[in-house]
Structure 1
Amino acid sequence: MEEQDAVRWCVVANVAPLTSHGPGGAEVRAGLKHFSPGTKLWLVEPLWGSGGDQVEVLGRHRGARGLVRMIVQRRHLTDFRVQGVHSPAVREHLGSAWPTKEKAEEIARGWNRISDAQTGVRYQARRIEVVHALDVIGQTTDPPRFNHALTYRIGWMLRDDILGDPGSTIGTLLRDHAEAEVIHRLLDLARAIPAESDTDYVRHPHWPRVAAAAREAAATLTQPQHDREGTP
């Protein structure tokens, strides 16, 4: 039994050094209210898929002794990775283990991608919404039926006041001119298609260009910031 417990796997992460809160992310804090910067947290397996914007975590509270479980915004965590659960105290408080190491690693990779995407800007939550929209648009090539997710995200990006002028969002939503350029190119291609539904978009001869532009934009926005040094 002890040997079986020793190979239980779990996604872990650390609290970001600085976290943004409030309207527009104007309030910047060191770590979180309940966890100090850099605190290692064990993540409870999501009930479905990769979970939402919030995750349940287990860690040492900054103002108390012992372990506590609570829900935090996932965007305030960094360096998602998979580790074995060896501590009896952690196993007891954590409850059920992740199903497999492979599943945990898959979700950790996805969370790191989003974590990389949100750094370096003030509107982190809004930026994550943009990345999700780009993923849906870029991955849609032939919907078998009416896809409300696609229609909503295309309409949202076309109507969004902030994205109306991508260049003006550098520093708040976008990091640099390279990101503004790929978003501008995508929006120009989408606006050129007369459509009222997702099927109108996808069946248009120019849709492959829109999807390709969305994939390029998603790749640009999710590139780690340290890899972008020197980008004009």
Structure 2
Amino acid sequence: MMNLFKCIFKRKEIDQNENAFVEGEFLWCIVGNIVDYHFYGEQKEIKSGTKHFRPGAKVYCIPEFGGMAHETIRVIGKPRGSRGMINVIISTKKMKNFRLQKVYSDSLFEKISEQAPYRVNNSYRLSKKELVDILDIVKAYTEEIKLP
């Protein structure tokens, strides 16, 4: 009960003092999954997942490379064989099932708030409508291989 009180108090403190980009007790974020199989290299080898993430891993996308048409995207997620979260840039082709989701977790909330489009003291912050527009763009890049 005490941890719940601390989390709520901490979030309210952030909202009032730093004008964080939140609606209530959540943050809007683009979420996707890593493709099961994709082509790799000049010989077009078929690989499973990516170097950092297992197939189907849920990743939180930070759309900060708009000038490059979002061909690469910064993601935060749990890597292979580790419990912590990592922050890496991967090709949008290796992701699928893009959607808009609310983030409630305190640890994710803090990691996402550190990034440029969500930064507390940033003068430009992404709105939900802008995230939906970006979502339509990145959905077109997925290149997943369906194996029988």
- TM-score, normalized by the shorter chain, greater than 0.5: yes
| Alpha-carbon separation, structure 2, partners of 1:22 and 1:34 | 17
RMSD over aligned Cα atoms: 2.3
Give a deviation string over 1:82-134, Cα, whole Å, max 9, x none.
Answer: 1112111111222243611111111111211232xx4559xxxxxxxxxxxxx
Name the structure with the higher strand share: 2
Q: Give the share of equivalent positions with the same residue, in percent.
A: 25
Structure 1 residues 68 and 119: CA distance shift in structure 2, 3 A: closer
Q: Corresponding residue for 2:95?
A: 77
Contiguous gaps of at least 5 residues in structure 2: 1-11, 16-21, 119-124
Aligned residue-pair number: 118
Residue 18 of structure 1: how far off its partner (Å): 0.6
Q: Corresponding residue for 1:111?
A: 138
User: Which one of the candidate residues 109, 113, 128 is aligned to 1:91?
Assistant: 109
Give a deviation string over 1:44-102, Cα, whole Å, max 9, x none.
Answer: 12143574321110000112111000111110000111111211111122224361111
| Alpha-carbon separation, structure 2, partners of 1:63 and 1:120 | 24
| Alpha-carbon separation, structure 1, partners of 2:45 and 2:24 | 42
Question: Helix, strand or coil for the counterpart of 2:110?
Answer: helix
Residue 7 of structure 1: how far off its partner (Å): 3.4
Q: Corresponding residue for 1:62?
A: 80
Contiguous gaps of at least 5 residues in structure 1: 122-232
Runs of 4+ in 1 over 3 A off after TM superposition: 2-5, 47-52, 118-121
Q: Corresponding residue for 2:49?
A: 31
Question: Helix, strand or coil for the counterpart of 1:36?
Answer: coil
Structure 1 residues 113 and 70: CA distance shift in structure 2, 3 A: same
Q: Looking at both structures, which has the greater relative contact order when contacts are Cα pairs under 8 Å and sequence separation is at least 6? A: 2
Q: Corresponding residue for 1:9?
A: 28
| Alpha-carbon separation, structure 2, partners of 1:52 and 1:45 | 7
Structure 1 residues 63 and 120: CA distance shift in structure 2, 3 A: closer
